[in-house]
Amino acid sequence: MAGFGELRHYPQFDTQVSACEHGPVNPTRESIEAYYRGLQSDLCDRLAQLDGGAGFGVDEWIRPDGGGGTTRVISGGDLFEKGAINVSAVYGPIPAQLGDKIGAVGAQFFATGISMIFHPRNPFVPTMHANLRYFEIEDGTAWFGGGLDLTPYYLFEDDAEHFHTVCKQVCDRHEVAGYTTMKRACDSYFYLSHRGEARGIGGLFYDRHAVDLPDQFVFQQELGDSLYESYAPIVERRRDTSFSEENKRWHRVRRGRYVEFNLVWDRGTRFGLETGGRTESILVSMPPEVSWEYAAVPELGTAERDLLDVLRGEPRDWAT
């Protein structure tokens, strides 16, 4: 297989997605994967430096039905208890469940993407998740999707405002992106209906954006390039905050909600497990330590209850 950071050569479909009618040439599979791999390398370098105590390992893997990926994991760091950035590029006959859903049973497909998750050691530093993806079918249908979201364990309004403001600034520079629509989609998606609470304070979420693929790719690249900016200043503000065992207990309880969402509601996790995806790369998003306590509702007037009240209330507009 291709070495670390190298692109693979993919079989070509009979019908290629090569150009918009009377418009600029569409991005190629190779250029999209190359961007994801470059972003993975850049973020691993910058976040390892930010951590200061650990680096990202490299695990190359092959998908038996076509393609593969690179999973890079950091663990036991000074800052990150666990984190991962995964890039994949896979192809072949479309999985039956997906084919049924999108009306492409028996078609050939190509998909590439980057996904990441960071679980900090300090409960005052939020978890951040993001993914960017591209999907193509042999009939020429293609689209982009992705997003990012923030999951705090203690609410700091200036952190939420910073995260959402960076998201909005990127969206506002592109006609193919709408902050309000993507923000609402994120609030709707990352919601634990069995708990009646949001997973976190949201961000952006979008899927199957197929109009103007060249501009979609430009937007996605700028969104990817903004990920460090959206998260690192928050990390630097909170990483040295002192914490107690009670703070860590709450941290583990809230991480349990994260696990519940991923295993019960997340479409990507469920689809991957149901269709024979690479289990280690799918479940790398799980936090290393969690707990479930019966009726773990904090007392009124506590910082823990303040967070819970926000997560159980109507989504707030954070961007400034």
Residues classed as catalytic: 129
Residue with tokens 């009670």: 246
- Name the DSSP letter for residue 262: I
List, in sequence order, every residue forming a beta bridge with 206; answer none if it has no partner: 146
Judge contact between 255 and 119, C-beta under 8 A. yes
Burial-class residue 157 by CB neighbours within 10 Å (0-12, 13-18, 19+): exposed
Please measure the distance between the N-terminal and C-terminal CA atoms of the chain and give it in whole angstroms: 47
> Can you tell me the distance from the alpha carbon of 286 to that of 228, in angstroms, rounded to the nearest whole number?
21
Structure tokens at 125: 């530093």
Structure tokens at 59: 């695990």
Angle among Cα 84, 89, 94 to the nearest 5 degrees reads 120
Measured from the Cβ of residue 214, the count of other Cβ atoms closer than 10 Å reads 15
Residue with tokens 């923000």: 183
In DSSP notation, 199-211 reads: SSS-EEEEEEE-S
Give me the phi and psi of 17, to 5 degrees please: -85, 100
Q: Which pairs count as long-range contacts for 53-58, CB under 8 Å and 24+ apart, including other chains?
A: 53/77, 53/78, 53/79, 54/78, 54/80, 56/83, 56/85, 58/4
